């Protein structure tokens, strides 16, 4: 068995944010597998077959990738952002767990990418500078009641939060409910930022206090970032201090451990 599966992140949208490691994998692939808009980002070439599919067949897509790799093909499964954040890496391992025992011999690699959450945070300033939680607000793969529980718990615990898939046409009422929970758990002065089409030509960044936020400020092309009680605006930038209230900053270097 000489095939392989590489699960690659294409970043948030700007081609300059695709890592060289991912570019090399795409150049060596025989087959590309992914959701239709993401596969369209891959330049066609001789010797490369593109397999685009709908967004609700993730495990089927992953299974197909493993089947082709078992036949000796070099398969790249593409996701936007980072493949390990609400994307295809988990689906591939889910298919691997349920698949044929011999698939365990396939060479599988996950190549990181820049997530929409991190790209949005960089455009805003540093709103995720302290502890934070990332939550997918879609209820396609989990019940809405669980989402409400996690929203309230994260808000009451003082986490900054980043939200994926905040408001779709089929469930516009849910983001309105999310804002109500956040207002109760975090308070009206807490800053909330809406980053739409991050790194793309039509990028829009809006920051308001939670009490002024409305559901219409978000759609499926928007990443929403809510600060904690210490998050503040400095000019056009928003940042969350690296230390908790009443705890003086240590002299430890960035990224150090104790």
* Cα separation values, 233 from 117, 131, 139, 191, 240, Å: 19, 18, 32, 8, 9
Among the listed residues 166, 168, 169, 190, the one whose alpha carbon sits nearest the alpha carbon of residue 178: 166
Q: Largest Cα–Cα distance of the chain, in whole Å?
A: 61
pLDDT, residue 140, reads 87
Closest listed residue to residue 181, CA positions, set 169, 196, 166, 200: 166
Helix (H) or strand (E) holding 148: helix 144-156
Q: What pLDDT score was predicted for residue 244?
A: 78
Percent of the chain past pLDDT 70, that is, above it, reads 95
Quote the mean pLDDT of the chain: 93
Structure tokens at 176: 């309105």
117-239 CATH: 3.30.950.10
Report, as an integer, the average pLDDT of 53-61. Answer: 89
Residue 254 has pLDDT above 90, yes or no: no
Tell me the CATH architecture of domain 4-114.
Answer: 3-Layer(aba) Sandwich (3.40)
| For the chain, domain boundaries | 4-114, 117-239
Beta 74-79 vs 4-9: how paired, if at all?
parallel
For residue 196, the cross-strand partners are 204, 222
Q: Which tens digits make up the pLDDT trace of 126-142?
A: 999 999 999 999 998 89
Q: What percent of the chain has pLDDT over 90?
A: 87
Residue 168 pLDDT: 81
For residue 257, pLDDT over 70 is answered with: no
């Amino acid at each position: 068995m000489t095939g392989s599966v590489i699960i690659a992140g294409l970043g948030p949208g700007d081609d300059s944010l695709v890592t060289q490691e991912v570019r090399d994998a795409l150049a060596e692939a025989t087959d590309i597998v992914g959701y239709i808009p993401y596969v369209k980002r891959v330049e066609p070439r001789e010797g490369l077959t593109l397999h685009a599919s709908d967004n609700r067949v993730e495990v089927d897509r992953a299974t197909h990738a493993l089947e082709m790799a078992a036949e000796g093909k070099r398969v790249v499964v593409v996701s936007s952002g980072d493949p390990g954040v609400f994307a295809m890496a988990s689906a591939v391992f889910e298919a691997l767990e349920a698949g044929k025992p011999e698939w365990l011999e396939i060479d599988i690699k996950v190549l990181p990418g820049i997530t929409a959450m991190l790209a949005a945070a960089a455009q805003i300033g540093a709103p995720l500078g302290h502890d934070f939680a990332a939550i997918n607000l879609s209820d396609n793969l989990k019940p809405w009641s669980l989402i409400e529980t996690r929203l309230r718990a994260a808000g009451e615990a003082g986490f900054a939060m980043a939200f994926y898939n905040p408001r779709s046409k089929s469930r516009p009422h849910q983001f309105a409910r999310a804002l109500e929970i956040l207002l109760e758990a975090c308070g009206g002065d807490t800053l909330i930022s809406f980053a739409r089409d991050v790194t793309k030509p039509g990028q829009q960044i809006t920051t308001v206090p939670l009490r002024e936020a409305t559901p219409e400020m978000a759609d499926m092309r928007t990443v929403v970032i809510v600060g904690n009680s210490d998050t503040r605006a400095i000019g056009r930038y928003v940042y969350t201090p690296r230390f908790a209230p009443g705890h003086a900053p240590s002299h430890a270097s960035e990224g150090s451990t104790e």
